[in-house]
Amino acid sequence: MSENFDVPKALSGTGGWLDDRFHGARGFRVLMRKVFPDHWSFMLGEIALWSFVILLLTGTFLSLFFVPSTTDVIYHGSYVKLNGLPVSEAYKSTLNISFDVRGGLLMRQIHHWAADLFMAALTIHMLRVFFTGAYRKPREVNWLIGILLFSLGLIEGLFGYSLPDDQLSGAGLRIFEGVLQGIPVVGTYLAYFLFGGGFPGHLIVPRMYIIHVLLIPGILLALITAHLFIMFHQKHTQMPAKGNTERNVTGQPFFPYFLAKGGAWFFFIFAALALLATFATINPIWLYGPYNPVQISSASQPDWYMGILEGSLRMMPAWEINFLGHTLSLSVLIPFALPLTIVLGGAALWPFFEQWATGDKSYHHTNDRPRNAPVRTSIGMAAVVFYGVLWAEGANDVLADFLQIPLYTITWISRVLIFVGPLLAYVITRRICLGLQRKDKETLLHGYESGIIRQLPNGEFIEVHKPVNEEARAVLEAKKVPALLPAPGSEDANGVPAPTSRGALGKFRAAANRAFAETIVVEADGHGNGHGNGHEPAVAGAAVAGEEHDAVGAPSSAALPPGETPSGEGEDS
Amino acid sequence: MSDMEETEGAEGPVARHRVIGTPPPSPRLLGPTAVAEDREAAIVSDEKGFEEHIQGLPPDDPRVIVHASRVEKIVAACFILAFIAGCGFIAAYVGLGVHSVNKTLRSNLALGFSLSVTLAALGLGALLWVRHLMPDVEVVEERHELRSDEKDRKAFGSYFKEGTANSQFVKRPLLRRTLMLGTLPLIAAPVVLLRDLGPQPGTSLRHTVWSPGRRLLVAGTNQPLTPAQFSAPGSMITIVPDGYSDNLDELTKATVILIKFRPGELDIPTTTNGGTLVGTMNWTVDNIVAYSKICTHVGCPVALYEQTTHHILCPCHQSTFDATKGAEVIFGPAARPLPQLPLTVDSSGYLVAKSDFTQPVGPSFWERG
């Protein structure tokens, strides 16, 4: 197989011809042996990638039939219930795609499902990257590109589902326009320039169309390419495991393993989307009817990724002020700008904040287990709850109907939860993280409960604890805790206060630093085995004690590059 | 490790059937331990997945060969299924027409299902192939230093300095500044070019097409209305201005809801805004009141009306207005009441507007004041 250096004739012929001209063999040699670490969570970003590919494929098909125009026409077509109704060209051509083009409905529905999946996969992929700390140096730029991709995806989706000019999306577009008008100073002009005058006008559909099919997809494609190239160049992160260090990357080579797995994954995702498109109707615009700005249907919901904006608009109490003779519509402005700024802006700043607070400027190629970074994990969960409350409030009418709770009550609950929820999430998550660290410590020091009950000669029953194997130990020991910066007020030998402790910012940094450095220290807690009942079994106890010396006395520092903090040296707070 | 497992051979089953809460068996990584354990397990149990008990066996082991030939057949079956389903897809395209709801439904089912089967079968085949037939290769690659070494950094710095010096960009401020000056308009040009995207708003958001004497038409039928025709208390209808009943741009601002009340229910306080009258009982006719249908929050149509409470509700963000009290806001994000349209009747007895709205309708905007 690989030992055989005779390559097939086709390869040596064509390949040789190409290599003579492009020097390709060298590059492809590297590519073929490129290592891709294996972990289920590394497939999440791939879902987004493959959804994007499917979006391009189906979108190209749709663009062959769609007419981006709001010229009024009278509909006469296969959907007879709408016959004779004045509709726009855009709406009519979407009906034609659905009912008069073979496979058109399927492609439309795959396209729409793929868009929802794309945003969902992006979200979950970002959560994975956040919770495992994979955004840390040197990957901050890729993290920022990801946030940009997510933001562009929002607009791309909004413009995409608004194109058919149906009643539901039209209402969404009206909200978008109303929100634009609410922007101080330039809002009215923005709205008039984008829509070519007052709402709805006749220009918005062709304008959204070109933005949706060319401008944003072009930028997305460029950013995704950059994202992949950076990932490729920097090499993927890996999960902590035996043999994995900061200096290596362990996994299967691109050719043929990753190629085959990635291809299979593409087919599975495509198959899942095709199945959804076959059996689960999405965006049945023929039921919504053509857009009329003075009609609306109740329980209008945007696509899921817009739910957070919809929810924040619903949650906001009325608040409008007159600012120097101008109207400042805070009940529009705040819900429009604040939540996304907090979530996306916060996410963008986080890697740099973490570096600043921990003083950690080193490279990180091995991911953290979320429990080992309690502050990060808790902040992440707080953000998830914050997002979740806004998102759920976006469907408050549906929730009210489903739960039989008055609508206003739901809104009031969400108004409280938006503040309380993230705080609770932070506190609870932090406790859970520390609890899990304690459990890890127990497992490291005393092994795991084997489930074997032994009777001792004196009649006592004990459960045998077994030491964990090397693989599990490598995972448990892969905890790195940021070093503690000088405490506020502390001075060095010359009586100069540490820079970190100066001013309010310095105090804040020191406080953040202490929070980041909080950890459960793993150290042998004496041979008295002070925990538990004090009657530690001799057999298991001896074995465990022996393991302790192996494990804790000599942490596998060989696996750590010089300068890295071995596990268990962090300060306890 | 494996020694320990073997000395406790009597507890063999325990090793295989994990107790909840115990660490999982070794992940299959490099380690010879994993291989040893798996080989052991392979003999004892056949219930485990392939990877767990064939992995690590030499490729010429009979069990591996038997397994491989079985998997090969399954994979081939997957690919054949993909071929058949793919042919089915093409057949469905050729054979099943559309042009009606029922036919489209049938076509969508056939096309979608065959496409799904094709794709899923290809995916499954590829996955089984890579997981069961390809040897489990694990490669460890060294990470290279991302940071360039000092020599390169220094060379870059000196080349840059040298190039800058040769270009004399720093030395000749006149050239530098005139170059920047020269490109400045070019940078502004794209922004300037966007100016004609739309007209300036001007006062267009302040006015609607309602004017003194313009008749109210019932949306849908486009017929004028007398107070007597709209005599059932509690009902709400949508009204469009005469002459603009299908002009969406104007309707977006001018559409009105008309509500009839029982005598005494309606109690609109006389309100003014900066000296302008914005709400009064005098603008109603025979307990009929007209409000703008465009929500003052972000412009959705306020289409829901609850007869018993006289609440007007916007379905988009649940701004709620009290219809009896000049549509004042009682819940939700809308900050202002729905503007009231002054009503009267013309000489023929039809409901007409007394004037345009006295304040801008719809969402707030900066210049609204």
Rounded Cα distance between A209 and A212, Å, is 5
In the three-class reduction of DSSP (H, G, I as helix; E, B as strand; rest coil), residue B21 is classed as: coil
B31–A138: do the CB atoms touch at under 8 Å?
Answer: no
Residue ranges making up the domain that contains A452 = 431-559
Helices (H), chain B: 2-7, 12-16, 32-44, 50-54, 62-95, 101-128, 150-167, 173-193, 248-254
B332 touches chain A (CB under 8 A): yes
pTM of the model: 0.87
Asked if pLDDT for residue A428 goes beyond 50, the answer is yes
Asked if pLDDT for residue A106 goes beyond 90, the answer is yes
What does the pLDDT look like over A209-218, one tens digit per residue?
999 999 999 9
Rounded Cα distance between A261 and A252, Å, is 10
The average pLDDT across A377-396 equals 97
Asked if pLDDT for residue B81 goes beyond 90, the answer is yes
The average pLDDT across A323-330 equals 92
Percent of chain B with pLDDT over 90: 75
Domain CATH number, residue A42: 1.20.810.10
B29 touches chain A (CB under 8 A): yes
A33–B141: do the CB atoms touch at under 8 Å?
Answer: yes
A195–B198: do the CB atoms touch at under 8 Å?
Answer: yes
| pLDDT class of A126 with cuts at 50, 70, 90 | very high
Backbone phi and psi for residue A286, each to the nearest 5 degrees, phi listed first: -70, -25
Rounded Cα distance between B310 and A212, Å, is 43
Strand partners of residue B305: B312
| pLDDT class of A503 with cuts at 50, 70, 90 | confident
Show residues of chain A in contact with B303, CB under 8 Å. Answer: 295-296, 298
Tokens of B357: 């709205």
Q: Do residue A436 and residue A290 come from a single domain?
A: no
Rounded Cα distance between A382 and A421, Å, is 7
Show residues of chain B in contact with A257, CB under 8 Å. Answer: 130, 134, 137
Closest in A80, A200, A310 to B252, CB measured = A200
B205–A241: do the CB atoms touch at under 8 Å?
Answer: no
- Smallest Cα–Cα separation from B248: which of A380, A80, A294, A363? A294
B306 touches chain A (CB under 8 A): no
Quick one: pLDDT at residue A488?
Answer: 61
Of the residues B11, B33, B60, B98, the best mutation for testing chain A's interface (the one with the most A CB atoms within 10 Å of its CB) is B98
Quick one: pLDDT at residue B55?
Answer: 64
Residue A288 belongs to a domain? yes
Domain tally, chain A: 2
Quick one: pLDDT at residue A487?
Answer: 67
The average pLDDT across A549-562 equals 37
Rounded Cα distance between A157 and A163, Å, is 10
Asked if pLDDT for residue B369 goes beyond 90, the answer is no
Residue A424 belongs to a domain? no
Beta-carbon neighbour count of residue B62 at 10 Å?
A: 8
Cβ(B302)–Cβ(B236) below 8 Å? no
Quick one: pLDDT at residue A371?
Answer: 95
Of the residues B141, B148, B329, the best mutation for testing chain A's interface (the one with the most A CB atoms within 10 Å of its CB) is B141
B126 touches chain A (CB under 8 A): yes
Asked if pLDDT for residue B308 goes beyond 50, the answer is yes
Show residues of chain B in contact with A173, CB under 8 Å. Answer: none
Tokens 């309707």 locate to: B251
Q: Is A129 exposed, middle or buried (0-12, 13-18, 19+ CB in 10 A)?
A: buried
Nearest CA in chain B to A275: B116
Backbone phi and psi for residue A399, each to the nearest 5 degrees, phi listed first: -60, -45
Nearest CA in chain B to A106: B108
- Smallest Cα–Cα separation from A232: which of A508, A417, A45? A45
- Which residue, of A296, A331, A362, is where some domain finishes? A296
Q: At what angle do helices A104-131 and A259-279 cross, to 10 degrees?
A: 130
CA distances from B287 to A408, B290, B303 (A): 29, 10, 20
b/e sequence A8-41, b meaning 16+ C-beta within 10 Å:
eeeeeeebeeeeeeeeeeeeeeeeeebbbbbbeb
Could you tell me which residue, A293 or A541, shows the higher pLDDT?
A293
Quick one: pLDDT at residue B301?
Answer: 94
CA distances from A490 to A501, A502, A571, A573 (A): 7, 10, 17, 17
DSSP 8-state assignment for residue B123: H
Helices (H), A254-303: 259-279, 285-288
Asked if pLDDT for residue A564 goes beyond 60, the answer is no
Quick one: pLDDT at residue A505?
Answer: 87
pLDDT-wise least confident of A337-351, A521-535, B337-351: A521-535
Quick one: pLDDT at residue A516?
Answer: 92
Nearest CA in chain B to A188: B365
Quick one: pLDDT at residue A535?
Answer: 38
Nearest CA in chain B to A234: B146
| pLDDT class of B344 with cuts at 50, 70, 90 | very high
What does the pLDDT look like over A269-286, one tens digit per residue?
999 999 999 999 999 999
End-to-end CA distance of chain B: 79
The average pLDDT across B63-74 equals 92
pLDDT-wise least confident of A179-193, A235-249, A542-556, B347-361: A542-556
- Smallest Cα–Cα separation from B263: which of B285, B280, B278, B282? B285
- Smallest Cα–Cα separation from A198: which of A171, A177, A173, A168? A177
B31–A470: do the CB atoms touch at under 8 Å?
Answer: yes
Show residues of chain A in contact with B198, CB under 8 Å. Answer: 192-197, 203
Q: How many residues does chain A have?
A: 573
Q: What is the least distance, in Å, from the CA of A502 to any CA of chain B?
A: 32
Residue A426 belongs to a domain? no
* Domains present along chain B, CATH in parentheses: 2-133 (no CATH), 216-368 (2.102.10.10)
User: Model ipTM?
Assistant: 0.86
Nearest CA in chain B to A230: B146
Cβ(A370)–Cβ(A433) below 8 Å? yes
Q: What is the least distance, in Å, from the CA of A448 to any CA of chain B?
A: 6
Amino acid identity, position A324: L
The average pLDDT across A367-374 equals 95
The average pLDDT across A381-408 equals 95
- Smallest Cα–Cα separation from B238: which of B266, B265, B263, B258? B258
A102–B107: do the CB atoms touch at under 8 Å?
Answer: yes
Rounded Cα distance between A398 and B222, Å, is 34
pLDDT-wise least confident of A377-391, A434-448, A538-552, B139-153: A538-552
Could you tell me which residue, A465 or A127, shows the higher pLDDT?
A127
Could you tell me which residue, B178 or A32, shows the higher pLDDT?
B178
Asked if pLDDT for residue B57 goes beyond 70, the answer is yes
| pLDDT class of A30 with cuts at 50, 70, 90 | confident
Sign of CA dihedral A255, A260, A263, A265: negative
The average pLDDT across A396-408 equals 93
Of the residues B29, B109, B258, the best mutation for testing chain A's interface (the one with the most A CB atoms within 10 Å of its CB) is B29
Nearest CA in chain A to B144: A247
Show residues of chain B in contact with A331, CB under 8 Å. Answer: 297, 333-335
